[in-house]
A and B are shown apart, each in its own frame.
Chain A
Amino acid sequence: MSAAGLERPQVVVHAQQSLNYTVFDCKWVPRSARLLCLGSAPRGTGVLQLYELRGGRLLLLSEIEKAKPIKCATFGAASLQQRHLATGDFAGSLSIWNLEAPEIPVYSVKGHKEIINSIDGVGGLGIGEGAPEIVTGSRDGTVKVWDPRQKETPVANMEPAQGESKRDCWTVAFGNAYNQEERVVCAGYDNGDIKLFDLRTMSLRWETNIKNGVCSVEFDRKDVNMNKLVATSLEGKFHVFDMRTQHPTKGFASVSEKAHKSTIWQVRHLPQNRDVFMTSGGAGSLHLWKYEYPAQRSKKDSEGAEMGVAGSVSLLQNVTLSTQPISSLDWSPDKKGLCVCGAFDQTVRVLIVTKLNKV
């Protein structure tokens, strides 16, 4: 490899672990070297495994089996001391677990009629102001926001009007939680719709369609004034929206990039640098990107209304790890460049991305 090639960040597989079940999600436990893998066992039960990274190997600490396969999980609404895990399962239940005592959930609600595809949390881990809240998106077409301190009913429910067909909600994300009042939820649907719900005014703030199913959306930061949103799609494209300036008619400016030849399953921003993000592709590849801001982030249109100006994205590195899709991806919130990904080849890999402080 040339010297110039070495200047770029490198993606190195640090450890990998084969699993005997299909892994749907993996998450670092905050403030630790442990990570959680969860998924579906062959006999149709849910599995939750806790691993510790020790000496370049993943050591299984504990394994819990639940009745239903678990699709997604988040620590986003948990405090740093408690670190309770919120999960969504195939039956549509939202549960919160104390990993020290995983026998019964500390909170459980049958929130959706069908599988919960995606979950996100805010207000915990020192990320985001205001109450801890969890948002779930389900195949039943609804997006519900939950406060773990409130039993049974969601604090907000976003669903299609009566008589309208329901779309499969594939992904949800919190954002704009820079003070106690503001908070938005972004949801992506199988028909390419992206909807931005403002939880303060309880209104649909913006919507667009990217023509292909939206597999993953994420704000670059949940707890800043909405800055950027990345949405990935079924056919291998992703869109970066500049969320700072909303034009009355045109909405947000965006730049799109066709990266993978197949579905982009996940996008995750580096917790230590919001302009760097990684996408995981259907062909087992990972792409590391950097967003470059334009010289001027907004300009006046002919009517004098402010409109955003999209920047550009540049590929920093790509690597192919597997022949199967990489369905989940999580950066360590504590160690820059450390990340974990789970693929459908039933393997979980711990990766190290180097030279991230030089990009």
Chain B
Amino acid sequence: MKDKITCLLFVVPAAVFLLSRMKSSKTNKEIRKTYHGITVNGISMTKKEKIFIATREKEKGNEAFASGDYVEAVTYYARSISILPTAAAYNNKAQAEIKLQDWDSALQDCEKVLDMEPSNVKALLRRATVYNQLKNYQAAMKDLNAVLCIEPENAVAKKNLLEIEKKLKELKPGYKTEGRGKRILIQDIEDSEGDEEGGENAEVCGRSSRDKKIVLPVRGEAALGKAEMGNAQRKFHSKGGGSKLEDRGTQKQKESTESGLKKGTEEKKSQKTDHEGEANGYLNSNQTSESPEAGQSSRSHGAGSLSAGAAHSTSLPPAAAKLKSEGNELFKSGQFGEAVPKYSEAIEYVISVGERSPDDLSILYSNRAACYLKEGNCSDCVQDCNRALELQPFSLKPLLRRAMAYESMERYRQAYVDYKTVLQIDSSIQAANDSVNRITKTLIDQDGSSWREKLPPIPVVPIAAQLNRWDGGNFTSEVKPKSPTDINKEEQLQMNREKAEEKFRTLKNEGNDFVKKGKYDEAVNKYSECLKLNTKDCTIYTNRALCYLKLHKYEEAKQDCDHVLQIEDCNIKAFYRRALAYKGLQSYQASVDDLKKVLLIDPNVLEAKKELEEITQLLSLGGVAVADCQQKQRKKITIQEVTDEQEEGQLETAEDVVTDNLSSKEAVQKCVPSRTCEKLTISEPSNAYDFGQIVNAVNASKDQSACADLLTITDPKKLPVLLSNKLEGEIFLIFIQSLAHYILGKDPGLVYQHLFYLSKAERFKVVLALLSKNEKEQVQRLFDLLTENQNHQYSLEELDSLKKVYEL
């Protein structure tokens, strides 16, 4: 196609062209512009023309702006302005220049607009943006305020104003001193509690809310925390940070506690080795720490922890255990004050012994915290909770207690965070839920709608901790002491479960892959392995059922589907596959029932509809099976094993085998019969419709024997009626063939009768006229055979006259 017009350009004399161009530029003085086309000289234009052209140029600028070509846009705006300066053009040009970050030009243009229209909101906004970029915040604020004077609801202006105010405050030294003053105020609180989220706090608050006085305390303390945290972190890492298993949350906690340790007491230092040793083991120990109750169940409690200790080789020394139980007793009787020293003694004892029992120690701290809380000594309570938590991260009780302490100290944000953490571990704790709601309300009152932004980050509870909780929840939420073996088993189980899940998934995927590749045997194996791991996954069953179906193991497929349906009583796949299995098992009624269920669940499943149709047909035909000859029986048996796909395969191979040998051909035809031949268990047609259906089926499968059956049971006299006007060449032919091959040997009289009445059928003449030579020969042969087998049922004369009717 690359055209034949190789467009050689015939410039009708080139000189003329050039000349004409020069002429034109001379004569056309109306519009002249510089080479770059930045300006348009519109001196000679009328006012209207100017407006028209200026608007056009501006529109072109707008279009260029819309397509993102800001340089071009500026050019067109400039052209528009050069014809007729308008505020809109300047304004748009300023916007394009802002996009190009050409601040100076943008500023000039904004000012030009404001010269023309002093209260042009867009220009003011744009100038504010430019000022903002040029770091002239005062001027920007002035402009934004001007905008807000004109349009008090202008959201953009409000937003920008806030941002600029923020920036201003950052710059102003006065604000800083203010912050420092606050920080001092807060310092003692900071000391007392060793805030966990300090580091995060500092970052968040430092960024977002420096100017908010309400937040200042948090920031102050956080900043301090951060400074310390920094040291702690260094220390921590220099130690080799041997806790890779730990997640970020616990690490943070460790950091914070170590920052406490830095200034801290002797006893804490002695603990330190313990922590590091146990850092990896917190996962295990976590569970035990949950079980002991603070003071309610002193005896059993002691025992529980003791036995746990034995199992974990973290036993509480007997003396300490005794002290603890005494403390618990005192606590129970409400003598919190007295309980504290008992617990303290126990703690000291444990520490002095130096045994590795972080969980027990944690419980002791937690119990002492409970006492402090009851006494109203919130800061000590928080401290103890922190210690307990550093030993046992994400244990419920200390978290809850610390949350309560924070709440009563009116440190709602921290309290909120702790409650939230608790709820992550166990969302069923009503007290925590209530408190979260209460605190949310308080915080909204305090901080407005953006209260969430001011929260310290909520630590993410590691899944393991949650899982432990859930497992625990299975047994009881009012935790009972568990035997160490139980715990061990549980851990094991937990581990196993994770592993199993992993394995389960891989197996399933492998199975699915096999299905895709068509290797159903292997897939079945994989799925079976899957089911060993998890017997509750329905998809595995349905998948395996599919494989079984493909493998024609209908019984197994059915069982799998049954299983699924026991678990999930409306699994559509299971119904469908069971229907197929029933079909394979030839229990059509059950199959139909299942398919109906499928369609009940989802009426749009086309496959199901199709199957249903098919099976209903099978059912109607299959029900009235007329077994009249052995051939048929034999056929039936072959059919039982045939399924959709095999049929096809057989068909192909069968066709390959086909030879000229007639007998082999017949053999093929016998085994070919597929599902259609199942239908061809012929019943006597009662009306033309039935007859037509059967004939069509017969014709479709070219099943001469079935046709013979049909003709055998059909009364020849009825033939014209039954055929109605549906007689066609193909039907005619198959009649002739089946009469010749099947019926003639048995009953020549019947053949004659059929031929006789066939000739009376409607459309007979037409069909006859359309027969090919070959086909006519077949008819001729039939008549010859009839002549040979002549018997009493018809005379040769009759036959001859019939021959004439058949135009032979």
Contacts and interface: CB of A to CB of B under 8 A. Distances in A.
Contact of B33 (A127, A129, A160, A166): A129
B31 A157 contact: no
B66 interface: yes
A189 interface: yes
Contacts of A167: 3-5
A61 B32 CA distance: 37
B12 A153 contact: yes
Give chain A's interface residue range (CB within 8 Å of chain B).
Answer: 35 or more
Interface in A166-216: 166-167, 178-180, 189, 191-193, 195, 197, 202-204, 207, 209, 211
Nearest to B66: A275
A211 B1 contact: yes
A272 B59 contact: yes
Nearest to A242: B67
Contacts of A56: none
A191 B4 CA distance: 10
Interface string B725-746: 0000000000000000000000
Interface string B59-102: 11001101111001000100000000000000000000000000
A92 to B, nearest CB: 16
Interface residues of B, number: 43
Nearest to A210: B1
B9 A158 contact: yes
B11 A156 contact: yes
B459 to A, nearest CB: 40
Given A224-B64, A272-B59, A275-B66, A129 B7 contact: no
B689 interface: no
Contacts of B7: 158-161, 195, 197, 204, 207
Interface in A92-140: 123, 126-127, 129-132
Given A131-B24, A131-B25, A159-B10, A165 B4 contact: yes
Contacts of B24: 130-132, 147, 149
A225 interface: yes
Contacts of B76: 224
Interface in B1-60: 1-12, 14, 16-17, 20-21, 23-25, 27-28, 30-33, 35-37, 49, 52-53, 56, 59-60
B6 A160 contact: yes
Contact of A131 (B2, B28, B37, B56): B28
Contacts of B20: 131, 147, 150, 155
B37 A129 contact: yes
A160 B7 CA distance: 5
B33 A297 contact: no
B493 to A, nearest CB: 53
A323 interface: no
A180 B32 CA distance: 8
Contacts of A126: 31, 49, 52-53, 56
A273 interface: yes
Contact of B23 (A123, A149, A227): A149
Contacts of A204: 7, 9
B33 to A, nearest CB: 7
Contacts of A160: 4-8
A274 B67 CA distance: 10
Contact of B63 (A127, A180, A197, A274): A274
B634 to A, nearest CB: 58
B5 A157 contact: no
Interface string A285-298: 00000000100010
Contacts of A195: 5, 7
Contact of A130 (B14, B28, B36, B66): B28
Contacts of B28: 123, 130-132
B25 A178 contact: no
Contacts of B5: 141, 159-161, 164-167, 189, 193, 195
B72 A225 contact: yes
B1 A180 contact: no
Nearest to A167: B5
Contacts of B49: 80, 126
B68 A209 contact: no
B106 to A, nearest CB: 23
Contacts of A251: none
Interface in B508-526: none
Contacts of A155: 12, 16-17, 20-21
Q: Please provide the 5 A-B residue pairs with the shortest distance between their CB atoms, ordered closest to farther.
A: A131-B24, A160-B5, A161-B8, A164-B4, A155-B20
25 contacts: A123-B28, A126-B56, A127-B56, A131-B28, A149-B24, A155-B20, A157-B10, A158-B7, A159-B5, A159-B8, A160-B7, A164-B6, A166-B5, A167-B4, A179-B37, A189-B5, A193-B3, A195-B7, A202-B14, A207-B3, A207-B7, A209-B2, A209-B3, A223-B60, A224-B76
Given A202-B9, A202-B14, 10 more contacts: A126-B52, A129-B37, A154-B12, A155-B12, A157-B11, A159-B7, A193-B3, A202-B17, A203-B9, A209-B3
Interface of B: 1-12, 14, 16-17, 20-21, 23-25, 27-28, 30-33, 35-37, 49, 52-53, 56, 59-60, 63-64, 66-69, 72, 76
Interface of A: 79-80, 123, 126-127, 129-132, 141, 147, 149-150, 153-161, 164-167, 178-180, 189, 191-193, 195, 197, 202-204, 207, 209, 211, 221, 223-225, 227, 272-275, 293, 297
